[in-house]
């Protein structure tokens, strides 16, 4: 038989158990009660460093404000947008006709533009730029649904990039359209890097040229390489190449 413990031992045991339950209860209470002045602050870190908070007064300055204006003429590093050619596609108040400094029209640059165009633009404008992308086709189908437009769908057709007006756009204007959008088309400044936007603009011009070139644009020594019917048609690019 187990000997019965003395009464005082039982007593102390129960008391100790109760005492042990106090800290978790206190912690749970403190954790669940919102209080701007935290009572227990074990790690001070930088919570109590001397500092001026927003809108506080600072007698050091004549106007008494702790918040200071930026020093006149300050230029933040990497934040300058003063280069209108690069950021807006504008030179001397006109749409730029050239790429901004630091970018070169190379085959590699156009390839990059093609790849980005195919990702971002072809869905609406189509791979060749005729405004016949998959999204556009689907929207048109929904609109011409015999039961009427689906839930009041309205869709502005993505413009053909071979439209005579669009063909007149300079590379700077195309860049600006890609960046900020135009009328019903949203801008892509947030999704596509600046240099890629220029590459896309350059590629759009290449696409346009691809549909509007003549035999004169082909160097004489390369004309033999063209399919026969193109060469015979005088290089009319609309001739179907079989
Ligand atoms: C979601 C569909 C959609 C996508 C994606 C799209 N566009 Fe458009 N785009 C349009 C529509 C719609 C218009 C015609 C807007 C209007 O007339 O209101 C248009 C018009 C244009 C125009 C003609 C502007 C003018 O002066 O009339 C150009 C150039 C153009 N887009 C280029 C691009 C390029 C480059 C991309 C890829 C970065 C792109 N678009 C992506 C729908 C799209």
User: Which of 110, 112, 100, 77 has its CA nearest to residue 176?
Assistant: 100
- Is 121:200 a contact under the CB 8 Å cutoff? yes
The protein residue with its alpha carbon nearest to ligand 1, atom 18, reads 184
Interval 220-236 mean pLDDT:
71
Residue 82 lies in a domain: no
Location of structure tokens 């006149």? 72
Note the pLDDT tens digit of each residue in 122-161. 999 999 999 999 998 888 887 776 665 566 667 788 999 9
Q: Is the CB of 202 under 6 A from ligand 1?
A: no
Burial of 63 (C-beta count, 10 Å sphere; 0-12/13-18/19+): exposed
Q: How far is the CA of 113 from the centre of ligand 1 (A)?
A: 16
Residue 167 lies in a domain: yes
State residue 46's pLDDT score. 81
Residue 139 sits in a domain of what CATH number? 1.10.760.10
Enclosing domain of residue 102: 89-211
Reported as a pLDDT band with limits 50, 70 and 90, residue 242 is very low
Residue 161 lies in a domain: yes
Residue 239 has pLDDT above 50, yes or no: no
Most confident of 34-48, 120-134, 215-229: 120-134
Q: Give one DSSP letter per residue of 86-154, joined into a string.
A: HHH-EETTEE-SSPPTT----HHHHHHHHHHHHHHTHHHH-TTSSS--HHHHHHHHHHT-TT-SGGG--
- Give the range among 3-12, 20-29, 96-105 with minimum mean pLDDT: 3-12
Q: Which residue has the higher pLDDT, 199 or 233?
A: 199
Residue 31 lies in a domain: no
Average pLDDT, the chain: 86
Residue 232 has pLDDT above 70, yes or no: no
Residue 149 lies in a domain: yes
Q: Is the CB of 121 under 6 A from ligand 1?
A: yes
Residue 69 lies in a domain: no
State residue 79's pLDDT score. 61
Q: How far is the CA of 162 from the centre of ligand 1 (A)?
A: 12
Burial of 10 (C-beta count, 10 Å sphere; 0-12/13-18/19+): exposed
Q: Which residue has the higher pLDDT, 83 or 78?
A: 83
Residue 111 lies in a domain: yes
Q: Is the CB of 95 under 6 A from ligand 1?
A: no
Residue 75 lies in a domain: no
State residue 153's pLDDT score. 66
Domain count, the chain: 1
């Amino acid at each position: 038989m187990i000997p019965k413990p003395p009464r005082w031992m039982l007593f102390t045991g129960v008391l100790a158990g109760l005492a042990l339950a106090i800290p978790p209860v206190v912690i749970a209470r403190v954790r669940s009660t919102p209080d701007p002045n935290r009572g227990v602050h074990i790690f001070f870190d930088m919570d109590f460093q001397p500092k001026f908070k927003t809108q506080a007064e600072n007698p050091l300055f004549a106007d008494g404000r702790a918040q200071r204006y930026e020093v006149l003429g300050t230029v933040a590093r990497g934040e300058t947008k003063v280069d209108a050619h690069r950021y807006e596609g504008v030179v001397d108040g006109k749409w730029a006709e050239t790429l901004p400094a630091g970018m070169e029209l190379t085959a590699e640059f156009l390839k990059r533009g093609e790849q980005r165009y195919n990702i971002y633009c072809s869905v609406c404008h189509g791979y060749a730029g005729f405004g016949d992308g998959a999204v556009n086709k689907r929207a048109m189908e929904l609109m011409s649904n015999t039961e009427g437009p689906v839930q009041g769908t309205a869709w502005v057709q993505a413009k053909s990039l071979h439209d005579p007006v669009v063909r007149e756009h300079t590379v700077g204007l195309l860049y600006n359209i890609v960046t900020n959008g135009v009328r019903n088309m949203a801008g892509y400044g947030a999704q596509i890097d600046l240099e890629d936007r220029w590459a896309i603009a350059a590629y759009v011009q290449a696409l346009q040229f691809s549909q509007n070139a003549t035999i004169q644009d082909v160097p004489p020594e390369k004309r033999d390489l063209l399919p026969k019917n193109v060469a015979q048609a005088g290089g009319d690019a609309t001739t179907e190449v079989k």
